[in-house]
Amino acid sequence: MKNWQNKILFVKLLGLLVLLGINPNTTFAQSSDYPNRAIKIIVPIAPGGGTDIIGRKVAQKLGEILHQSAFVENKAGAGSLIGTDFVAKATPDGYTLLVGGLFNMVMNKALMKNLSYDPAKDFIPVGYVSSYPFVFTVRPDLPVKDFPDFVRYAKERPGQLSYGSAGIGTLQHVWAHVLTSNLGLDLVHVPFKGAPPAYQEMMAGRLDVIFDNISAVKAYVQSGKLKGIATSGESRSVFLPEIPTINESNLTKFSGESWFGIFAPAGTPPAVISKLREAMVQINKDPEFILQVEKDGGRVLNVAQNEQDKFLISQINLWVPSVNKSKLKLD
C-alpha cells in the first residue's frame, strides 16, 4: 500500500513540475553536470571595443576554470538593445550569458520608455568584473588649462563647442550630456560610429571634447595628443595622477565609473548560478586577469555574492534620476 502511495505522490510531483513549465530531467541535468557543452557569452556591442575585450577575457578564464569551452558572440545593433534582449529571452540554462554594464543595464532603462527588458527582473548577476573612471578630454590646442577654465570658456561660447561620442545613447553621450547640463553648458553633440573617428577629429582640431573611458583615452593623454582635464572617479587615477577629479573643481558633483559584469537570464537554476558565481570569484582573484584590468586603467570590481542584486538596483536608483533630470530621452 505504501509503495502505491509513494508512486502516486511521485506522479503528482511530476505533474506539478510540468504544470509549472519545469522539465525535471533538464533541471536535474543542469544542476548536476553543468557545464556539459560550450558556454556562449553575448557581447551586445560590435567587436574591438572595451566591452568586447572584457567579454573575451572572461570567456577565456571561465573556460579554463569550468573545463569547458566558452566563447564570445557579438550581437550588436540598436545600441546594445538587440544583444541584451536576446539574452533576456534566452533559455535560462547557464549556456547563454551576457556582458552587461552601466550602459545596457542602467542607462537604457533611463533613456527608453518602452525598454523590451527589465534589467532587475530579467537578469541575475553572476559576477561583476571591472570598473573604469571616465576622463574629460579636450583637443590639445583648446585654450583652457583645467576643468574650471573649460567651464568658463564654454559658458562664454554657448552652442559653439562640440563633444563627440561613439553613438547616440552611448555612455560617452549620456554622461557628457548629464555633466554639461549640470554645469549649465550648451555644447553640440556629434555622434560617430565608434570612438576612434571622434579621436581623429579631435586631433585634427575639428571636435572639441570627448568624455570617455580611461582605457580608451589614456594613451592619447599620456602621449600629449589630447589633453585630459578631469576624471570621474571619487579619487584621482593612479594612471593619470596629475588630472584632478571633477569633484575637486567644486563646480558640480559628478562621481561615477563605467562597470562591467556577467549576467544570466532570470530563471537559471540556483545550482548553475552558484557554479558560475564561484567561477567568477576565481576570475577576479586571477593575477593575470587583475594585471590586465589594471593595465587598461581600471580596477577589479569585487561585489559579494549576496550583494550583487543590490548593487545593480543601487546603480539604477543613482543614475536613472540623474539622466531624467537632464531631460535626455531617446524615444
Per-domain residue ranges of the chain = 38-131+258-326, 133-249
Which cell is 143 given? 585654450
pLDDT of residue 28: 46
Q: Which DSSP letter does residue 47 get?
A: T
CA distance linking residue 329 with residue 204, whole number of Å: 31
Task: Name residue, grid cell 533538464.
Answer: 26
The mean pLDDT of the chain is 89
pLDDT of residue 289: 95
Is the N-terminal amide bond of 35 cis, ω within 30° of 0? Answer: yes
DSSP per residue, 131-183: EEEEEEEE-TTSS-SSHHHHHHHHHTSTTTEEEEESSTTSHHHHHHHHHHHHT
Amino acid at 168: I
pLDDT of residue 2: 46
Q: Would the CATH topology of 38-131+258-326 be identical to that of 133-249? A: yes
Which cell is 235 given? 579619487
Mean pLDDT per 10-residue segment, the chain (331 residues):
49 50 50 89 85 92 96 88 95 97 92 91 97 96 96 97 89 93 95 86 96 91 96 93 96 94 97 97 96 91 94 94 83 62
Judge contact between 132 and 232, C-beta under 8 A. no
pLDDT of residue 46: 79
Topology (CATH) of 38-131+258-326:
D-Maltodextrin-Binding Protein; domain 2 (3.40.190)
Which cell is 64 given? 579554463
pLDDT of residue 59: 97
Q: CATH assignment of 133-249, given 3.40.50.720, 3.40.50.970, 3.40.190.10, 3.40.50.2300?
A: 3.40.190.10
Is the N-terminal amide bond of 321 cis, ω within 30° of 0? Answer: no
